[in-house]
Chain A
Amino acid sequence: MTERLATTVAGLKLANPTMLASGILGYTGLSLKTVIDAGAGAVVTKSMGLEPRTGYPNPTVVQTDCGLLNAMGLPNPGISHFKEEMKQLKSTGVPTILSIYGYSAEEFVKVAEAAAEMGADAVELNVSCPHIERAGAEIGCDSTLLTEIVKQVKKAINVPVIVKLTPNVTNIAEIAKAAEKAGADAITAINTIKAMSIESETARPLLANKFGGLSGPAIKPIAVRCIYDVYKAVDVPVIGCGGVANWRDAIELMLAGASAVQIGTAIAFKGPEVFSSVTAGIDAYLQRKGFKNVKELVGLAHNH
């Protein structure tokens, strides 16, 4: 990989601007290692909480037009269990970001402290899961509650705190500003969009949880708009997420203001190799356009 692709986000040194999005693989150290081997610049784990959760019954992931709909229900073994898995990731030299969730500021703090202690390079606060009560998007829609959580977590740990936002708000820029003011070191935009799919023959919702979060190509234009708005509103870096399946998508999110891009759903139809193909595509674009470094791309669309 070339120096052209190297970048820094919230103090994290990335060999390239791609990251694995939270929720994809990520239970075990080896599953994340696969993604690192495939060329990701950083990985984000499954969201971990204080206690284990089994998640919802199947169907938990269903196909819709242009995207996937999921309601996993945040299954996770609990943060303490991840310690063993984390050991396998420390030697890779690729930043591991621990995604965490909680039902209160106190819980967020406890999980964040455990994450920092086991060597997470950063934490990403999942305040945007669209299919869990009281712990996800309900926090990300309430700037007062969000402020309190970010402040407490920032006070408790010394590793960078990234806040992942939901697009299911009237004004995502306002929420991003609140997160920044509370001390967030970066903003990830966006989580999945609350959505639903109903099967006609059985007249039933397809997901066992009835509604869930839409991801994949369908949500890319929404992600681009949200990143654009957030970039304008805050000074901290924005990590773009939503519908990236190829290098052109990644470039689009960066032009909107993303310093790095997360990839998730595309792994289903492109495999983990999507990281190397996106990275190679970005590099070729930079060369062709005469950019010396990928950082020069960030937010360029705002010049027009």
Chain B
Amino acid sequence: MQIHSSKSSPVPPEFDSVNRMRVTKIVDIKQENCDVKTFTFVDKLCGKAGPGQFVMVWIPGVDEIPMSLSGITSEGRTSITVHDVGDASNALHQKKAGDQIGIRGPFGNGFVPVKGNAMIVGGGTGLAPLLPLTERLVKVADKVTVLSGAKCVDNLLFIDRVTKVLSGVDSETVITTDDGSYGIECVVTDQVEQKLEKEKFDMIYTCGPEQMMHGMFLLAEQYKVPLQASLERMMRCAIGLCGSCQIGKLRVCKDGPVLNSEQLRSVKKELGKFRLDLTGKRVKLQ
């Protein structure tokens, strides 16, 4: 129970409840590929999340990390898809169903689904927030084209889910791998360019490694198609205070994580090039 839910409360109750740490149990774990797992938990507030929003996931005793939602249901059954890349994600990968995690959020703005001809471009686990978006888009868009890129066949993600979501609607799916072990052998942006040359799109949505998204930004500008790109940054507070996720004049946690073309233009000096490290120093993106 919150003791300050009255109207005179100085902290808006909706802010307070979203930012509260809720400890919940992992109810399901799915191995997606060699180093990616999807964790499912139940959280009422996450049931109201929009595609592209993120949560802070507390792994007690280890860390708290930002994760996009890869599955959203109105009943609150929610999932995150985690690439085993660092100490925190590794600790999460050791968890079993029934283990506790903490959730704050959902935070940030999320994608804005628009009508017309939509292109969705995911790189690696960047596809995670694009899945709930695709689920929304098939209801409003005339056509949905999904381009998904991975390093190799072992890194591919969500092919079944994407196929299922797109079945029965006007759609197209293109899979690329850097080594040609599955689909077309190329980087995903090569295929994007071919599509843009042939077809007129009303909106491009993307998430993936930032260099790839920088490439997407240049293509979208060149072909004059509006873009929504979901950025990733080191985060601490997730509520726009600490400045850890600053890019240009924007806070990725609050003004993002999804930036539109205009916002991306305003940060193009840093996009794909720099981020702040743990000390707040501007460093080159790996």
Interface residues, chain A, CB within 8 Å of chain B? 23-28, 30-31, 33-34, 37, 46, 52-55, 57-63, 65-68, 70, 72, 75-78, 81, 199, 201-202, 204, 206, 208, 216-217, 243, 245-246, 264-265, 267-269, 271
A46 to B21, CA, bound (A): 26
Which chain A positions have C-beta within 8 A of B65? 58
Task: Take A75-B279, A217-B10 as given contacts and tell me if A63 and B21 are in contact as well, using a CB distance cutoff of 8 Å.
Answer: yes
- Nearest 6 Cβ contacts at the A-B interface: A27-B280, A77-B281, A58-B64, A217-B10, A61-B237, A201-B23
- If A25-B251, A27-B276, A75-B278 are given as contacts, then 11 extra A-B residue pairs at C-beta distance below 8 Å, sorted by A number, are A27-B243, A27-B244, A30-B246, A58-B63, A61-B238, A63-B19, A77-B280, A199-B21, A199-B60, A204-B61, A208-B64
Known: A66-B4, A268-B15. A25 touches B61 (CB 8 A): no
B10-37 vs A, CB cutoff 8 Å, 1 = contact: the mask equals: 1110011001110100000000000000
Residues of B within 8 A of A27 (CB): 243-244, 246, 276, 280-281
How far does the Cβ of A158 sit from chain B's closest Cβ, in whole Å?
A: 27
The size bracket of the interface on B is: 35 or more
* A31 contact set on B, CB distance < 8 A: 243, 246, 249, 251
- Select from chain A the residue with minimum beta-carbon distance to B16: A63
User: How far is it, in angstroms, between the C-alpha of A150 and the C-alpha of B246 when the chains are bound?
Assistant: 33
Closest Cβ–Cβ distance, residue A231 to chain B (whole Å): 24
**Roughly how many angstroms separate A31 CA and B242 CA in the complex, as a whole number?**
10
What is the distance, in angstroms, from A263's C-beta to the closest C-beta of chain B? 11
Most chain A beta-carbon contacts within 10 A, residue among B10, B15, B64: B10
- Beta-carbon nearest neighbor of A216 in chain B: B11
Q: Is the CB of A24 within 8 A of B64?
A: no
Q: Are A268 and B237 in contact (CB under 8 A)?
A: yes
Q: Closest Cβ of chain B: how far from A28's Cβ, in Å?
A: 5
Chain B residues near A78: list those with CB within 8 A.
279, 281
**Chain B residues within an 8 Å CB radius of A24:** 241-243
What are 15 of the A-B contact pairs (CB < 8 Å)?
A: A26-B243, A27-B243, A27-B244, A31-B243, A37-B249, A59-B102, A60-B242, A63-B20, A63-B104, A68-B241, A72-B236, A76-B280, A77-B280, A269-B12, A269-B239
Task: Say yes or no: A28-B11 contact (C-beta < 8 A), given A34-B249, A202-B60.
Answer: no
Report chain A residues within 8 Å CB of B280.
27-28, 46, 75-77
Q: Of A58, A199, A264, which is within 8 A of B241 by CB?
A: A264
A157 to B112, CA, bound (A): 52
The answer, among B102, B243, B282, for a CB contact under 8 Å with A202, is B102
Q: Is the CB of A245 within 8 A of B10?
A: yes
Task: Choose from B20, B21, B241, B249 the contact partner of A30 (Cβ within 8 Å).
Answer: B249
Check B100 for interface membership: any CB of A closer than 8 A: yes
The dominant DSSP class at the B interface is loop
Decide yes or no whether B201 CB sits under 8 A from chain A.
no
Whether the pair A72, B242 counts as a contact (CB closer than 8 A) is yes
Given A65-B4, A206-B21, CB of A268 within 8 Å of CB of B239: yes
Chain A residues lying within 8 Å of B85, measured Cβ to Cβ, are none
B42 CB to nearest chain A CB (Å): 14
Pair A28/B242 contact, Cβ less than 8 Å: no
Who on chain B is nearest to A25 by CB? B243
* Chain B residues whose C-beta falls within 8 Å of the C-beta of A70 in the assembled complex: 237
Q: Which of B12, B60, B242, B281 has the most CB of A within 10 A?
A: B242
The closest CB in chain B to the CB of A57 belongs to B63
B279 near A202 with CB under 8 A, answer no
Interface core residue of A23, A31, A53 (most chain B CB under 10 Å): A31
Report the separation of the CA atoms of residues A189 and B205 in the bound assembly, to the nearest whole angstrom. Answer: 47
Given the interface pairs A66-B4, A77-B280, A269-B11, the reply to whether A28 lies near B246 with Cβ below 8 Å is yes
B10 CB contacts on chain A under 8 angstroms: 66, 216-217, 243, 245-246
Task: Provide the bound-state CA to CA distance between A58 and B237, in Å.
Answer: 9
Residues of B190-229 at the interface with A, using a CB-CB cut-off of 8 Å, are: none
Q: Fill in one digit per residue for B40-81: 1 if any A CB lies within 8 Å of its CB, else 0.
A: 000000000000000010101111110000000000000000
The smallest C-beta distance from B105 to any residue of chain A, in angstroms, reads: 11
Residues of chain A lying within 8 A (CB to CB) of residue B240: 267-268, 271
Chain A CB within 8 A of B3 CB:
yes
Q: Are A217 and B243 in contact (CB under 8 A)?
A: no
Contacts of B238 in A (CB 8 A): 61
